[in-house]
Amino acid sequence: MTPEDILKKYWQYDSFRPMQRDIIQSVLEGRDTLALLPTGGGKSICFQVPALCTEGVCLVISPLIALMKDQVENLKKRGIAAAAIFSGMHYRDIDRLFDNAVYGGLKFLYISPERLTTDLAKERIKRMNVNLLAIDEAHCISQWGYDFRPPYLEIAAIREFMPDTPVLALTATATPDVVTDICKKLEFRKDHQVFQQNFERKNLSYIVRHVEAKEQKLLEILKKTNGSSVVYVRNRKSTKVIAEWLQKLGFKANFYHAGLPPEERNHRQDDWISGKTSIIVATNAFGMGIDKPDVRAVVHYDLPDSLEAYFQEAGRAGRDGKRSYAVLLVNKADTHNLTQYFETSFPEMKDIRRTYDALGSYLQLAVGGGEGQSFDFDIVDFAQRYQFDLLKTYSSFKVLEQDGWLAYTEGVHQPSNFKFLVNREQLYDFQIRKRELEYVIKGLLRAVAGALTDYATFNELQVAQFLRMPVSDLERILNYLHNENIIDYRPRKDKPQMVFVRERTDNQYLSIDWNLYMFRKKRAEFRLKKSIEYVELDICRSKQLLQYFGQVDADKCGVCDVCLEKDKDDLETNDFVTFSEKIKALVKREPLSLKDIVDSFAERQRTKVIQTIGFMLDEGSLQKKGDKFTV
């Protein structure tokens, strides 16, 4: 089948988006390929289509567990065999999925980077017929970038197991230095190709508002926004405070952060996507992999610490091509707060050692143990128990992760499952001996299909309701049956995972590469300065962003706050104020068409009136509903 046939069969699309077809062709020709596509640019299609065109399994490396699970579910819905392997999974499940990939039972195997480095993964990958190695979030391989992850450096090593297999690296945000570094670290061959889509978003107005009362400005923006909005804040507490304040004012708002249970996060995300909730107040944990076209405004309540993160988050607005706004609210305290945050993000060695030592005690892990193991981990409980500052604790883990000691992954929902470890005859004998458990065992056989032959997922609450018994009693019996080796019972998991990439060492032998640490600190400081420059310089916002990402010949956008202010100067401030006040007064009485408004002015003024209407629409002081204008 051709790529077009695949696209039509599985996605029901008649044609590819710009550049997708070129990227796919490069992969099909066997070339190593780097694709830089903006947020919402359809990156997954670029590896899923060519993988379906050829024999073998596509190996996909991704650091985002929730995104991996979403893509696996989407592929399964299309009848495509896919699975994901990540930290916190049971060894038997990992073993079974690797076998499926080796023997042709899977078309796509997603794997987190820290799992890629295990001996089990390396041995099985050697035996796979890998048709494509796809690397999502490829900027994570570069220490020049804003989200460096050491396990990504191991990816090049597995290429020796598949010397003829092309590599496709994908990212939405990469500066020229990072682009060069990606190609080098992945050991791209000489005939490799780099595809970079123009990052300019003509329908997106970047606005910076210097205000002291952020709440009032946020309220003003949201009142004028017709459609869905995202409000990004720096910490979890603020998500709840702002969302509840908006709810009291009558907005359909909710909050989202990584500390919520996975089922609750999914529920809130689905409500926002479906339109039941129009505003989501969130940390940067929200938005990855979400392709909602009608987001009219993305508001950043706090100054971001990198333009990479800002550009990616702001880019979630206006994917349908209609006029949308990315608004950044700034006050005098922001620069000071961001600088303090930066300093805390690079703790001293004594703090790193103390955190690492406490982690070993917290997990009751002996020196010399733990290599390759993952543990349920609650960072808030850990910090409270040892009376550590939470941000400094997180930053210490980040340093240890970037130096290859640990990997800290987000929480992801893994439902409960179990399998009978005995055959029917042995189970019948057990029921004769334990008559008091016969009712529960028979109920499990009826309520959970397939558990005699394989692991079956189930919900304890639903089974308890079916058996008409308390959940606590059912869980007690399941644990008893597990201890008696009648079943292998694995309760649901929701917690983040702490992975020991290397064995736990004695605290005095813990070391990090100080030169690389200082290099990363200088790069972070550079990114921070660029964020501050972005809001302080009187230069087109879009042009600043595009130049940061290497588009040196970028033109002024004409629709950001800087451009609009300069164009107003050309119009003459007095004319703009006069015309805009009269236009507001006219449409307050009743909604009017463009012709009705223009006809209300003298003929010699009409060109400037049309110009004024354009500025008012861009800054949000005038709204258009259908062919009528209103305030």
Q: What is the pLDDT of residue 372?
A: 83
Q: What is the pLDDT of residue 142?
A: 92
Instruction: Read off the pLDDT of each residue in 262-279 and give the average, rounded to a whole number.
Output: 90
Q: Are residues 132 and 16 in the same domain?
A: yes
**Sequence-separated (6 or more) residues with CB below 8 Å from residue 350:** none
Q: Does residue 220 lie in a domain region?
A: yes
Q: Does residue 182 lie in a domain region?
A: yes
**Sequence-separated (6 or more) residues with CB below 8 Å from residue 269:** 256, 280, 286, 290
Q: What is the pLDDT of residue 365?
A: 93
Q: pLDDT tens across 25-55, in order?
A: 999 999 999 999 877 778 899 999 999 999 9
Q: pLDDT tens across 432-463, in order?
A: 999 999 999 999 998 888 888 888 889 898 99
Mean per-residue pLDDT over the chain, rounded:
90
Q: Are residues 16 and 151 in the same domain?
A: yes
Say if residue 476 is exposed, middle or buried (CB neighbours under 10 Å; 0-12, 13-18, 19+). exposed
Q: pLDDT tens across 380-438, in order?
A: 899 999 999 988 999 999 999 988 899 887 666 678 889 999 998 999 999 999 999 99
Total number of domains in the chain: 5
Q: Are residues 443 and 516 in the same domain?
A: no
Q: What is the pLDDT of residue 569?
A: 64
Final residue of a structural domain among 162, 177, 196: 196
Question: Measured between alpha carbons, how far is 490 from 504 in angstroms, rounded to an integer?
Answer: 26
Final residue of a structural domain among 442, 469, 490: 490
Q: Are residues 53 and 187 in the same domain?
A: yes
Instruction: Read off the pLDDT of each residue in 198-215 and give the average, rounded to a whole number.
Output: 92
Joined tokens for residue 343 = 């300093």
Q: Does residue 555 lie in a domain region?
A: no
Task: Say which residue the tokens 């307050």 belong to.
Answer: 588
Q: Are residues 9 and 148 in the same domain?
A: yes
Name the range with the highest mean pLDDT among 60-74, 219-233, 546-560.
Answer: 219-233
Question: Measured between alpha carbons, how far is 555 from 339 in angstroms, rounded to an integer?
Answer: 31
Confidence of residue 109 (pLDDT cuts 50, 70, 90): very high
Q: Pick from 407, 415, 390: which is nearest to 494 by CA?
A: 415
Q: Does residue 99 lie in a domain region?
A: yes
Q: What is the 3-state secondary structure (H, E, C) of 537-560?
A: CCCCHHHHHHHHCCCCCCCCCCCC
Joined tokens for residue 342 = 């930066």
Instruction: Read off the pLDDT of each residue in 542-549 and give the average, rounded to a whole number.
Output: 93
**Sequence-separated (6 or more) residues with CB below 8 Å from residue 65:** 84, 86, 87, 112, 409, 410, 412
Q: Read off the CATH number of the domain in which 212 is found.
A: 3.40.50.300
Q: What is the pLDDT of residue 198?
A: 84
Instruction: Read off the pLDDT of each residue in 124-150 and give the average, rounded to a whole number.
Output: 92
Confidence of residue 361 (pLDDT cuts 50, 70, 90): very high
Q: pLDDT tens across 143-197, in order?
A: 888 888 888 998 999 999 999 999 999 998 889 999 999 999 999 999 999 999 8
Q: Does residue 530 lie in a domain region?
A: no
Final residue of a structural domain among 466, 490, 514: 490
Q: Are residues 379 and 444 in the same domain?
A: no
Query: Strand 33-36 vs strand 167-171: parallel, antiparallel, or unpaired?
Result: parallel
Q: Are residues 35 and 119 in the same domain?
A: yes
Q: Does residue 286 lie in a domain region?
A: yes
Question: Distances from the Cα of 545 to the Cαs of 2, 35, 99, 249, in angstroms?
Answer: 37, 19, 46, 35
Q: pLDDT tens across 564-623, in order?
A: 887 666 667 678 888 888 999 999 989 998 888 988 998 888 878 888 887 787 777 888
Q: Are residues 24 and 167 in the same domain?
A: yes
Q: Are residues 401 and 501 in the same domain?
A: yes
Q: Are residues 44 and 128 in the same domain?
A: yes
Q: pLDDT tens across 79-95, in order?
A: 999 999 987 788 888 99
Query: Strand 108-111 vs strand 57-61: parallel, antiparallel, or unpaired?
Result: parallel
Q: Quick one: which H or E segment has residue 473?
A: helix 471-483
321 within 8 A of 203, measured Cβ to Cβ: yes
Q: Does residue 539 lie in a domain region?
A: no
59 within 8 A of 133, measured Cβ to Cβ: yes
The domain in which residue 402 lies consists of 340-413+495-524
**What DSSP designation does 145 have?**
S
Q: Does residue 556 lie in a domain region?
A: no
Q: Are residues 42 and 118 in the same domain?
A: yes
Read off the amino acid at residue 129.
N
Residue 373 pLDDT > 90: no
Q: Are residues 409 and 423 in the same domain?
A: no
